[in-house]
Structure 1
Amino acid sequence: MQIANGNYIVIEGNIGTGKTSFSELLAKDLNARLILEEFSDNPFLPLFYKNPERYAFPVELFFMTERHKQLQEVLMNPDLFQQYTIADYVFSKTLLFAGQNLRGEELRLFQRLFTTLNSIFPQPDLLVYLHRSVPELIRQIKKRNRSYEQDIAPDYLKKIQQAYFNFFRLQQNEIPILVLDVEGMDFVHNPEDYQLLLDLIAQPYEKGLHFWKGRAEGF
């Protein structure tokens, strides 16, 4: 199988959408290097979900430094034996989430640090966004039963979803962005669902926003 757009593919989505599971399946099929966000190692994350205002800056700073270290190790060292690289996050999401959680001088400091760190990374050849409605995200989060996620509020998920949409509007002239509405799909246990998404991702896309199953609600 070949991906028409290039070798560096990012799978994105809101919390609970299944982006990591899909990235793992895709990397296996493509024999690709796989970059998975190690969010469970963030010691501030459980504290942040309980007290966002107090722990927003340390949680975002930890995420940014860990993402930068991980991407630098992989993207700056090509592998001659693996054509593709699949990641379940784009580094720009660092600023996307920080913009929702930080204010004032903390946000301005964070933006300066982000700009410096982001300058070394290539843009993805294709960014795929898996979209689910907030009620379905809540069901997915409850189902996987991670203790530190159980306090996530629907309003927070709506804010993150809208932040992604705003980010895509700004980036649509820079990279191809494919928005896949996976509401009700189970690509982990249903091979037909997975193959359908795989076929969509393999197609060529120009720079800009591309939608499957219509425009996502809220776009």
Structure 2
Amino acid sequence: MLFSMEGNIGSGKSTLISALKKEYAEIAGLPVVFVDEPVTQWEAIKSEDGKNMIELFYGNPARYSFAFQMMAYISRLAMLQEAIRENPKAIIITERCLLTDYHIFAKLLYENKSMLQEEYEIYKTWFHSFQDIHVDGIIYVRTDASVAFERCKLRSRPGETIDEAYLKQCHEKHEEWIQEEYDLIIDNNITEQEEALWMIHDYISDVVWEHKDPEPYDYTLMYIIVVWILINILSFQKSNLFHSRLYRI
């Protein structure tokens, strides 16, 4: 089963996933496998002057948004397919999923005119052609854009130059996408980490048990009881028949 940890840039997803890795090797009797966001792959792809894809994207979104989103989609898809193939009976927790780029980042880039109409159409066609990975649950780490902005400044990831206005837009897109009725929402502005871990554990457990196939029922005892009842009924009928004949004699 696949669960995706979602949230704004700098919302605290990676911190929660690191804590989950230490806390839970299994949930609901199933092993837990974690799939990190493929940032190292994005950093490994570089231009002739040595800039990686993250640096290129933030330096010139209009030029590199389509290439970056296609790269993000392909790398996520490959990692998820591998994790599912190698762990068919595990709970897989991924840092973002294919839906994230579609509903949040690609959509926002198009609306901000950083992605051309034809590029966006190609991206959507690609997405709908290969979206064969089902997400069973979404865990949304809700964090105010101002808090996320301060965290981004503190972590200072190379090439990641993000302004607060962009984070506010990302936050709004997440709020539009997330469904409170079905998804787990963790208010990371006020929720302590220990409580958040318990919330995630309970949410995943509930979803797993809802989808688990029922154990095959052992009909042996029922069969014995039915046979016993039938034998007693037949014995009773024979006894009545015998006494009835004696009475007539």
TM-score range, shorter chain: 0.7 to 0.9
1:88 is matched with which residue?
95
> What RMSD in Å do the two structures reach over aligned CA positions?
2.2
**1:130 is paired with a residue of what secondary structure?**
strand
| Structure number with larger C-alpha Rg | 2
1:94-113, aligned counterparts within 5 Å? Answer: 94-96=101-103, 97-101=105-109, 102-113=115-126
Q: Percent identity?
A: 22
Q: Which moved more, 1:26-35 or 1:130-139?
A: 26-35
The correspondence for 1:182, drawn from 171, 185, 188, is 188
1:53 equivalent to 2:70? Answer no
Whole-angstrom CA distance in 2 between matches of 1:107 and 1:130:
27
1:157 is matched with which residue?
167
Deviation of 1:204 after TM superposition, in Å, equals 4.6
Whole-angstrom CA distance in 2 between matches of 1:47 and 1:200:
38
In structure 2, what residue type is equivalent to 1:73? E
Q: Which moved more, 1:104-113 or 1:89-98?
A: 89-98
Whole-angstrom CA distance in 2 between matches of 1:180 and 1:28:
19
In structure 1, what residue type is equivalent to 2:22? K
Q: Provide TM-score, normalisation by structure 2.
A: 0.68
**1:11 is paired with a residue of what secondary structure?**
strand
**1:200 is paired with a residue of what secondary structure?**
helix
The correspondence for 1:27, drawn from 14, 21, 28, is 21
Q: Provide TM-score, normalisation by structure 1.
A: 0.76
Unpaired stretches in structure 1, ≥5 consecutive residues: 1-6, 186-192, 208-219
Whole-angstrom CA distance in 2 between matches of 1:13 and 1:116:
25
Whole-angstrom CA distance in 1 between matches of 2:149 and 2:61:
19
1:14 equivalent to 2:8? Answer yes
Whole-angstrom CA distance in 2 between matches of 1:204 and 1:184:
19
Deviation of 1:79 after TM superposition, in Å, equals 5.1
1:130 and 1:182 in contact (8 A); partners too: yes
If each structure's helix is expressed as a fraction of its own residues, which one has the higher value? 2
Deviations 1:164-210 (A, max 9, x none): 222224xx67xx2111111156xxxxxxx222112222335889xxx
**1:147 is paired with a residue of what secondary structure?**
coil
Q: Which moved more, 1:61-70 or 1:97-106?
A: 97-106
1:38 is matched with which residue?
38
Whole-angstrom CA distance in 1 between matches of 2:4 and 2:92:
8
1:167-206, aligned counterparts within 5 Å? Answer: 167-169=177-179, 176-183=182-189, 193-204=192-203
Deviation of 1:19 after TM superposition, in Å, equals 0.5
Whole-angstrom CA distance in 2 between matches of 1:141 and 1:147:
11
1:121-160, aligned counterparts within 5 Å? Answer: 121-124=133-136, 126-149=137-160, 151-160=161-170
